[in-house]
Amino acid sequence: MGITGHRPEEFSAMDSVLTQVLLPVALGIVMLGLGLGLVVADFRRVVVFPRAVLIALACQVVLLPLVCFGLVLALDLPPVLAVGMMLLAASPGGTTANLYSHLFGGNVALNVTLTAVNSVLAVFTLPIVVNLSLAHFLDGSGQVGLQFDKVLQVFAIVLVPVALGMLVRSRWRPFAERMQRPVRILSVAVLVLVIAGAIIQERDTLAESFADAGVAALLFNLVSLAVGYLAPRLAGVARPEAVAAAMEVGIHNGTLAIVIATTLLNSTEIAVPAAVYSLIMFGTAAGFGFLIRPRTRAVTGSR
């Protein structure tokens, strides 16, 4: 049983190979690639940057869902799109954050730690946010929340590939190091193809919803980046760690949100905000990175 209010062609899309097979496989490849670059020490690194980690996690897990809730109410989004925005807000940072952090002088080691910890926390926090959003925005419409079996599915989607990648790295480190780059390239290629296919397949739905979802996704992305950078800086966190937090908090895992919307919630409409967000975040994150970069070579080591 899925979210009500879909057109027949949307049900066809939900049951398609694209949303039910290729998209989860694509996410699995991404998470596997993440695991190939992780070791247990990445989780222990929390004690090295406790202030930065705690602030970033507080922004990601608590503050941003509240900000997103206020945003969707202020914009008066349709209920299904509102749920999609909340799902996006509850999604952890993606591996793209590591790349942007590297490009703009962030502490990439902190990004790896935040991504690892966030991926674990999301297994528990994401179902809570989604359930509350479904109850608030779609109450009485026949929707189903993320019950225990759905939580297990989220666990499988997020953590199993990561754990497999970590296992491979612990047993066959040279092989894992050789495979990191090919897997990363493969994951990007697969994601581009799958997201492009989803956009083409659901172009009518996207065209109808892009105006509302586009404004909401853009504003939320900009707020996420600003909060992720300013909150640590105001707390006295050094610039490299603040840049890492900004990219981790500001670049959500839109692919995970799309997978959950189309497979676990059976709704392509709920996936629309994440799809739109995935298209715009690359440009906004790059622009934000240039905005906060050191102005001269002389200050690159400043705090």
Q: What is the pLDDT of residues 166-189, one digit of tens each?
A: 888 878 878 877 776 777 677 667
Domain boundaries, the chain: 29-289
Instruction: Map residue 2 onto helix, strand or coil.
Output: coil
Instruction: Map residue 166 onto helix, strand or coil.
Output: helix
Q: What is the pLDDT of residues 53-103, one digit of tens each?
A: 899 989 988 999 999 999 999 998 889 999 999 999 998 876 678 778 877
Right CATH for 29-289 from 1.20.1530.20, 3.40.980.10, 3.30.470.20, 2.60.40.10: 1.20.1530.20
Please give the average per-residue pLDDT across 205-224, as a whole number.
82
What is the C-alpha to C-alpha distance for residues 213 and 155, in angstroms, rounded to an integer? 27
* Predicted pLDDT of residue 92: 82
Does this model's pTM top 0.85? My answer is no
The larger pLDDT score, comparing residue 156 to residue 10, is at 156
- For 223, other C-beta atoms within 10 Å of its C-beta total 18
Supply φ then ψ for residue 147, to 5 degrees: -75, -175
Query: What distances in angstroms separate CA 222 from CA 51, 144, 158, 197, 288, one per listed residue?
Result: 23, 31, 25, 27, 8
15: pLDDT strictly greater than 60:
no
Percent of the chain clearing pLDDT 70 (strictly above)? 70
What is the C-alpha to C-alpha distance for residues 74 and 36, in angstroms, rounded to an integer? 41
- Cα 208 off chain centre by: 24
Which residues are paired to 39 by β-bridges? none
Of the pLDDT bands very low, low, confident and very high (cuts 50, 70, 90), residue 268 is: confident
Q: What is the pLDDT of residues 97-153, one digit of tens each?
A: 877 887 788 887 787 788 778 877 887 888 888 888 888 888 745 444 455 555 566
14: pLDDT strictly greater than 50:
no
DSSP 251: S
